[in-house]
Chain A
Amino acid sequence: MPRVVVLDYGSGNLRSAERALEHAGARVEVSDDHRTAMEADGLVVPGVGAFSACMRGLLEVGGDELVDRRLAENRPVLGICVGMQILFQRGVEHGVSAEGVGRWPGAVEPLRAEVLPHMGWNTVTAPSDSVLFAGMDPDTRFYFVHSFAARGWEEHTGEPSSRRRSVWAEHGEPFLAAVEDGALMATQFHPEKSGAAGNALLRNWLETL
């Protein structure tokens, strides 16, 4: 049974993530202890609320360093919702820019849509070699709740983007619903709230551990 640590950095939603991962077949611990988090087979970085507040919480427990250290050893990390957003270079909320962890280029910005937050079950478009979405029907729906998203990649010169698999969804405009980047993966939606579809996705992730 894979061992997973859900990173406890003051962001809500920990219990849901913990229970859903257990349901998908993991042994789960909620912790901010670096040794525990380093030793786990997988690390989950959840997140709800504001980008800047999550980032502040993450820095307080040294979560940025933890993510870096795990990825340097090619050990899996899964970001969820704002836990995905903070992996980008920056987040722009109410016109104010906050710095992110910077694993991926570009900004997380307000979605341009008639109704916000984007709240409810939506489909995604995943590449055929996707790991997280393997074996899933294209009309599978996941539960989203967010007003901000990465709306595309700002590619930098020499950035090795080919290893990244981008999964897209649409609400008003296309945005990144998930990214698979070697050991680092993330979803903008909430797999822990996405019923059977979310369970299938978490099982797919656990299989990579």
Chain B
Amino acid sequence: MAVAVRVIPCLDVDQGRVVKGVNFTGLVDAGDPVELARRYDGEWADELTFLDVTASSADRETTYDVVRGTADQVFIPLTVGGGVRGPEDVDRLLRAGADKVSLNTAAIADPELLRTASRRFGAQCVVLSVDARRVPSDGTETASGFEVTTHGGRRGTGICAVEWAARAERLGVGEVLLNSMDADGTKAGFDLEMIRAVRAAVRVPLIASGGAGEVGHFAPAVHAGADAVLAASVFHFGELTIEQVKNAMRAEGITVR
């Protein structure tokens, strides 16, 4: 038997509340991250990811409370990302109950942060989150044709996304979360070419994100090399259930839990 492909719902958390609309039926409070986390746990989500979109550091205290509350009640792995600037942030999130912490912008500014975090906390809890896109016609060409972006995909960095993932692996990250900024929100399917390119360059588990719109979109991402698939809105709005996604993958011969 093989390790199961993971299906991971992602929740955007702002000042302790889930934002970007959640439309589950039967929820008392659709904005409560702990309640949603329990709901997803009950629906056989394999992991949960919180993306902390809180802008000010003062409001981040509530994020720690959310992580604590979730870790107290939900017994599946929890990854927290967004606004993680240094080892102390990683430490605080792990102490609050996160199992993994994803790093993005801060790692672009200082790649050594990945090495520091991996050495101190272990590779298994350091995730590199990459927001990548095809280099636009007026951009700086990269070796793979994909570049790392910042500011929610609006700003290109000229850094080759595939080389960045490979470098992060050498620096010690235990997993790569690959977000396609071109596919994100289109619901037209994952960026399979990008998944294949990064898969060929790294040996750590690869989470594919961005573009999921229907059950048939997930299996191709796995066949392209993803070890896990992440989605947000299709799950939040009840358009797809985790069970439907798993059944569709199972029908394509993919091992799921």
B142 to chain A, nearest CB (A): 25
A114 adjacent to chain B (CB < 8 Å): yes
For the residues of B in contact with A, the DSSP-based class is loop
Report yes or no: B205 in contact with A121, Cβ–Cβ below 8 A.
no
A199 to B, closest residue via Cβ? B75
Q: Are B124 and A117 in contact (CB under 8 A)?
A: yes
List the B residue with the shortest CB-CB distance to A144: B3
Q: Is the CB of A119 within 8 A of B175?
A: yes
Q: With a CB–CB cut-off of 8 A, which chain B residues contact A194?
A: 75-76
CB neighbours of B124 from chain A (8 A): 48-49, 117, 119, 145-147
Whether, in the assembled complex, B227 has its beta carbon less than 8 Å from a beta carbon of chain A, the answer is yes
A139 nearest CB neighbor, chain B only: B1
Whole-angstrom CA separation of A143 from B124 in the bound complex: 13
> Is B94 at the interface (CB under 8 A from chain A)?
yes
Chain B contacts for A23, CB-based, 8 A? 75
* CB contact under 8 A between A116 and B203, given known A20-B75, A144-B3: yes
Are A15 and B71 neighbours in the complex by a CB distance under 8 Å?
A: yes
- For this complex, into which size category does the number of interface residues on chain A fall? 35 or more
Given the interface pairs A115-B227, A117-B205, the reply to whether A143 lies near B77 with Cβ below 8 Å is yes
Give Cα A19 to B76, complex, Å: 12
Chain A residues 88-132 with CB under 8 Å of chain B are: 114-123
Chain B residues with Cβ below 8 Å from A122 are 1-4
Measured CA separation A35–B3 after assembly (Å) = 40
Chain A proximity mask over B68-93: 1 for CB below 8 Å, otherwise 0: 00011101110000000000000000
User: From residue 49 to 74 of chain A, which have CB atoms closer than 8 A to chain B?
Assistant: 49-50
Chain A residues near B77 (CB, 8 Å)? 143, 145, 190, 193
Q: Does A182 contact B (CB under 8 A)?
A: no
User: B97 contacts the other chain (Cβ, under 8 Å)?
Assistant: yes
Taking the closest CB of chain B, its distance from the CB of A174, in whole angstroms, is 11
Contacts of B95 in A (CB 8 A): 12, 15
Give Cα distance in the complex from A143 to B4, angstroms.
10
Q: Assess the A171–B125 pair: CB atoms within 8 A.
A: no
User: Does B187 lie at the interface of the complex (its beta carbon under 8 Å from any beta carbon of A)?
Assistant: no
B46 at the interface (CB under 8 A from A): yes
User: What A residues does B41 contact at CB under 8 A?
Assistant: 195
Q: B-contacting residues of A (Cβ < 8 Å)?
A: 12-13, 15-16, 19-20, 23, 48-50, 114-123, 139, 141, 143-147, 170-171, 190, 192-195, 198-199
The contact sample of 6 A-B pairs, CB cut-off 8 A, is: A117-B123, A120-B6, A145-B99, A194-B76, A195-B41, A199-B75
Interchain residue pairs A-B with the least CB separation, the first 3: A49-B122, A123-B1, A120-B3
